[in-house]
Structure 1
Amino acid sequence: MPAPPPPMRLVGATVLRDGGLRQRTVAIEGGRISGGPFPAVDLSGFLVLPGLVDLDTARLDCSPGEEASALSNAEDTASANGVTTGWVMVPWGGDPGDPARAEAALRALEAGRARRRIDLRTGLRFDVSAVATAERLVGMVRRFGIGRVVFEGWSDCPPSLASEVPRVLCRMAEALDVLGCTYGSAGDRDGETREFHAMLGARLCERPVSARAAAIARAVGDPVVAPAPALEGGTVEDGAVSAAQLIRLGCCDALSSSGDPARLAPAALALAEQGLGLPAAWRLVSETPAELLRLPGRGRIVCGQRADLCVLSRRTGRIEATLFAGRLIFATGEAACRFSAAATTPALAAE
């Protein structure tokens, strides 16, 4: 077990806390938000924000034997972009979602869990064309304690499976409920598909392709997660409706990076500049996704909670430092200089 990080106070920054931007000190002790006269790190000119909670940080679809390297790269990319809690999504079914390959990826994730620098959680993306392997997938959820499954691939499902898929998904939903696993759908193309998923209990509506699907989700109280890359006006992998449009319609609860964490913070900042305001925009990438996946202590700066933070330069708009459980896991630019200078002061160096 690594030694706990030294106590410190982040001073001089504007802090997103209690629903607003405030000139506050953030004290950290034992890896948690605390209070106390600890040695100070001067972060004047920076914003201190809750660490990002990304529901789709990485897609682990690498070749067998490359899992450890892919996970290390995913962790580096996530921490460099302010993500402190993320989900590695493993494809099951479709291409390249061979179940044996998926199982190898799950074993690699489990083997490296103790060495993780951030909180990387595991989810499965289940292509519904692979209904013949549904029982095997449920077994993997049970074995590895997987907390999240996403149903997708309806549009490419062979007609020969059209009648079988609903029955299998109903049985899967019952089994996942028993295991306490959260499940949802991705890429719903129309209202009818979303209605079926809602009745099934697949509440989380991710990357809806049509505004109608998102509206149906909202009408029945199901949360909608939009892909952050679509904010820039283009389409993403399956032509999902843009997050900006969903927000205007009042049908967006959270953003995910769709496997590209570098886009998440800029998306929130863009929304803030477009009139949403930083507190509300940042909630889409921190507090709300944590709530959707039943992690209520994440995504907020609250005394007693784990000190997962990112430090953003007010001058450049870039994330220059990330702290996970109070430990500095990424730093660059001026923020790196500030933390380095603080670490050489007698008070902090003595800890």
Structure 2
Amino acid sequence: MTRALTFEGAKVLRPDGLTGGSVCVEGDQIVERGGRQVDLSGYLVLPGIIDLHGDGFERHLAPRRGALANPLAGLAALDAELGACGVTTAWLAQFWSWEGGMRAPAFAREMATALQNYPALADLRMQLRLETHLTDQMDEVAEFVRSSGIDYVVFNDNLPHRALEAGKVPPRLTGSALRSGRSPEQHLAIMQAAHARGAEVQAALGRFVSQLPGVTFGSHDDATAERRACFDDLGAKIAEFPMAAEAAVGTVVMGAPNVVRGRSQHRNLAAADAIASGACLALASDYHYPSLAQAAFKLMSGGMRLPEAWALVSAGPARLIGLADRGRIATGARADLVFVEEDTLRIRGTMAGGRWTWLQDDMMQRLLTVD
């Protein structure tokens, strides 16, 4: 933890808006009065970014196909990137899937162990992306969720159902098989077996949810209102990256890269449209951590006020997932802070739980000149 400090001269984003005044930090909390003073004239002090769904961590663990690194080494690089991007709490979206490779159950277990043993600066958590048609593994998955302390599970279905139903070879079968370390024939047989369990899915998921009180559930890439309603009935209230406006109901999370690009990569629902309609309550990094801050600043350039834009990456995710101690700058809150140069909107420092996770040039000099 940093020693007690008082940051003065900056514009501070508080629950009631952007104001002047000081921010005092001692230990891991924001306090009423602090210690030594640091002049931050020309800076914005914003609440730390909370990322509900990101899989950008995968490139740190396996920078090339088949080049799987030690997860602990990869997590160190991830921790540094998150600090540079202003992210102080992050859910790593890890699959439990029939797809194999880094999406296999064995790798999910390895990741959970790595997270438990890595002394992260940011608050790193696992979001489990569970493939819905693994009905024969639901009890095993429930025990894994409990034993690993996982608090967020999202239902996912990546099976190519149309091709399988028609008895056709799914597109890109050979490539996906090679990534999983299987032959195309083995990979196809696994997909066919999972597809055949379709009639069991809803009941199996209902039993699964009932075993995990206190866990937050969501669904991913819903294309229709009917599909979203099925998951909502199960208690999966969060809709991650709905593909169409009709599925953007309930508690909606959209991708920050979608905002930065101005549209969906696959021409699905545009995040800006979901935000404008009031449906979207939070943005997530998806596959690109820098997009979180970039998305908020792009929304500002389009006319949205800073408090509303930044809430999509801080206060909004905090409320959605039930974290009452962060997402805001207030006495007693966790000391998760992002220090942004006002003129350039560049992140110059990040503090997570009172510890520095990122410091650059001018920000560092100002800290070094503290009396």
Normalising by structure 1, we get a TM-score of 0.89
Could you tell me how far apart the structure 1 residues matched to 2:5 and 2:335 are? 11
Alignment-mate amino acid for residue 170 of structure 1: G
- What's the counterpart of residue 327 of structure 1? 355
- What's the counterpart of residue 206 of structure 1? 240
- Paired residue secondary structure (2:211): helix
- What's the counterpart of residue 111 of structure 2? 105
Alignment-mate amino acid for residue 347 of structure 2: I
Q: Structure 2, unaligned stretches of length 5 or more?
A: 63-67, 165-194
Could you tell me how far apart the structure 1 residues matched to 2:300 and 2:200 are? 45
- Paired residue secondary structure (1:253): strand
- Paired residue secondary structure (2:345): coil
- Equivalences for residues 198-237 of structure 1 within 5 A: 198-214=232-248, 217=249, 222-231=250-259, 232-236=261-265
Instruction: Confirm or deny: 8 A CA contact 2:282 2:316 kept in the other structure.
Output: yes
Alignment-mate amino acid for residue 21 of structure 1: L
Instruction: Confirm or deny: 8 A CA contact 1:78 1:261 kept in the other structure.
Output: yes
- What's the counterpart of residue 145 of structure 1? 149
- What's the counterpart of residue 26 of structure 1? 23
- Equivalences for residues 263-278 of structure 1 within 5 A: 263-278=291-306
**2:326 equivalent to 1:310:** no
- What's the counterpart of residue 197 of structure 1? 231
Instruction: Confirm or deny: 8 A CA contact 1:60 1:90 kept in the other structure.
Output: no
- What's the counterpart of residue 254 of structure 1? 282
- Post-superposition offset of 1:30: 2.3
- Post-superposition offset of 1:19: 2.5
1:261-309 Cα deviation digits (max 9, x unpaired) = 1110010111122122100111110011011111111110010111110
Instruction: Confirm or deny: 8 A CA contact 1:187 1:240 kept in the other structure.
Output: no
- Paired residue secondary structure (2:254): strand
- Paired residue secondary structure (1:129): coil
- What's the counterpart of residue 271 of structure 2? 243
**2:138 equivalent to 1:134:** yes
Alignment-mate amino acid for residue 339 of structure 1: L
Alignment-mate amino acid for residue 105 of structure 1: M
- Paired residue secondary structure (1:15): strand
Alignment-mate amino acid for residue 70 of structure 2: E
Q: Structure 1, unaligned stretches of length 5 or more?
A: 346-351
Correspondent of 1:163 among 195, 199, 212 = 199
Moved more, 47-56 or 145-154: 145-154
- Paired residue secondary structure (2:113): helix
Moved more, 258-267 or 87-96: 87-96
Correspondent of 2:208 among 164, 172, 187 = 172
Moved more, 298-307 or 157-166: 157-166
Could you say what the CA RMSD is over the residues aligned between the two structures, in angstroms? 1.8
Moved more, 293-302 or 24-33: 24-33
- Paired residue secondary structure (1:235): coil
Instruction: Confirm or deny: 8 A CA contact 1:15 1:21 kept in the other structure.
Output: yes
- Post-superposition offset of 1:18: 2.7
Could you tell me how far apart the structure 2 residues matched to 1:294 and 1:262 are? 24
- Post-superposition offset of 1:59: 5.3
Moved more, 153-162 or 130-139: 153-162
**Residues 145, 264 of structure 1: alpha-carbon distance in 2 compared, 3 angstrom cutoff:** same
Could you tell me how far apart the structure 1 residues matched to 2:286 and 2:201 are? 25
Moved more, 186-195 or 33-42: 33-42
Instruction: Confirm or deny: 8 A CA contact 1:59 1:90 kept in the other structure.
Output: no
- Paired residue secondary structure (2:144): helix
Identity %: 35
- What's the counterpart of residue 72 of structure 1? 76
- Post-superposition offset of 1:32: 1.3
**Residues 317, 94 of structure 1: alpha-carbon distance in 2 compared, 3 angstrom cutoff:** farther
Correspondent of 2:39 among 42, 64, 78 = 42
Could you tell me how far apart the structure 2 residues matched to 1:330 and 1:59 are? 18
**Residues 211, 202 of structure 1: alpha-carbon distance in 2 compared, 3 angstrom cutoff:** same
**Residues 168, 59 of structure 1: alpha-carbon distance in 2 compared, 3 angstrom cutoff:** farther
Could you tell me how far apart the structure 2 residues matched to 1:48 and 1:94 are? 44
**Residues 37, 305 of structure 1: alpha-carbon distance in 2 compared, 3 angstrom cutoff:** closer
1:203-252 Cα deviation digits (max 9, x unpaired) = 010010111100xx2xxxx210000000122424x654221010122211
Could you tell me how far apart the structure 2 residues matched to 1:123 and 1:240 are? 23
- What's the counterpart of residue 349 of structure 1? none
Could you tell me how far apart the structure 2 residues matched to 1:109 and 1:34 are? 29
Alignment-mate amino acid for residue 133 of structure 1: Q
